[in-house]
Structure 1
């Protein structure tokens, strides 16, 4: 069967997305051949909470990519996924991406699991207030002082840092979707970060078809449960396949 065949036959697809779908929108990759983590060391959450220098480093790193994230717009892959939802064929999107482009493309909050958080908000690490990041980036740009919440707690972009626990509610939502989907398609991910990368395997373990589209190797390559493996740019083949499946 082709990708179009699988999409046409499905009525409850789980789409799992990684950084490879957003590079076409100007968002940098993280773990690919030219990924961010090849050139930059992440700040661990424990260090962020305990060290002023680490908080400065983290905000400096986030500021470095802030304009690109703020100005990015969805591409054809994001819009194709939103089309699946409008056609009633989408169970959920589980994304590792923090760019907010699925929301901008029209994927509903009910269908979207942002497993690693979002750059679209900042969050207080004490009282958990969330708000617009823009004034806090501007403040840091001017003063080089890590922003604080009105309660005195440390503000941090609402993304999951290395060493930080994932949100239990988002993990639960992702698991429910994986247990109910009749197809899983992984797009633009090396499938190397856990527990996120385990969700496609939950679907496949139930006997549902598993399709991987990625330029470059993934940790699930060679798994006998993968029905179709396409070594291509996602934006070259996924949007046309969705359009054909919905004809």
Structure 2
């Protein structure tokens, strides 16, 4: 296996680390067929970013949103984890890393074999919903089954309340419990590896800085420059899947 100098250095850091944390953004899922946020076809560039101000305020608007969700969900559900997700799973399940903090809502880390308690979803998940009155959580599959059965406005099976996506819209605060857990993991890590994030959205982008402030190391893997490249110990330019598979193989080769 031919390694670049940066990959060799990264493997050395990973072997020496005792508490690795991963931080992933949309760039890790582009190889699974999902758009990133800030690339040419990303939702930021094309203006397809839902905000808190766009929450449906009438029954008609909500029904229209459900119809669009019904059409979109099979595509989201069919996405499969790529080499990058699988490499992170191998490292965490092999005891080489603590957890993965993710900005993604696609559920691909769990689909790659990680349990929920090893995945900290800062922006929620597109695979679940919650009711507005009481916060009951309902699976995306349950909602999809009811939409395909002809329901136009599925309601919470527990209380009959209005459902909304269990994701964070622009303008909303991050879920307190997830953010607190992410901060604890970042503070405990002696090495954070950022994969596929431009690191411009706060407070999430502050997490690698927390690791550095506590004396930890930082590796950034991305196709394009990020906002924290100057802070990183190693920057690797490349596709997340290929690079992560290479690093995981190098680390686990010695195990």
Aligned length: 245
Q: Which whole-Å CA distance do the structure 2 matches of 1:179 and 1:57 have between them? A: 43
Change in CA separation of 1:14 and 1:54 when aligned onto 2, cut-off 3 Å: farther
- Is 1:134 aligned to 2:141, yes or no? yes
Structure 1 position 82, deviation (Å): 1.0
What are the equivalent positions in structure 2 for 1:200-211 lying under 5 Å apart?
Answer: 200-211=208-219
Task: Give the match for residue 235 of structure 1.
Answer: 241
- Is 1:23 aligned to 2:30, yes or no? yes
Structure 1 position 232, deviation (Å): 1.1
Check whether the contact 1:43–1:58 (CA below 8 A) recurs between aligned residues.
no
What are the equivalent positions in structure 2 for 1:150-161 lying under 5 Å apart?
Answer: 150=157, 151-161=159-169
Check whether the contact 1:76–1:235 (CA below 8 A) recurs between aligned residues.
yes
Task: Give the match for residue 3 of structure 2.
Answer: none
Q: Which whole-Å CA distance do the structure 2 matches of 1:84 and 1:104 have between them? A: 15
What are the equivalent positions in structure 2 for 1:54-203 lying under 5 Å apart?
Answer: 55-56=62-63, 58-59=65-66, 62-63=69-70, 65-137=72-144, 139-140=146-147, 145-150=152-157, 151-203=159-211
- Is 1:32 aligned to 2:36, yes or no? no
TM-score with structure 2 length normalisation? 0.86
Q: Which whole-Å CA distance do the structure 1 matches of 2:162 and 2:201 have between them? A: 26
Q: Which whole-Å CA distance do the structure 2 matches of 1:193 and 1:144 have between them? A: 37
CA RMSD of aligned residues (A): 2.2
Q: Which whole-Å CA distance do the structure 1 matches of 2:217 and 2:64 have between them? A: 43
SS in 2 for 1:213: strand
- Indicate which of 16, 35, 45 corresponds to 2:52: 45
Change in CA separation of 1:140 and 1:213 when aligned onto 2, cut-off 3 Å: same
TM-score with structure 1 length normalisation? 0.89
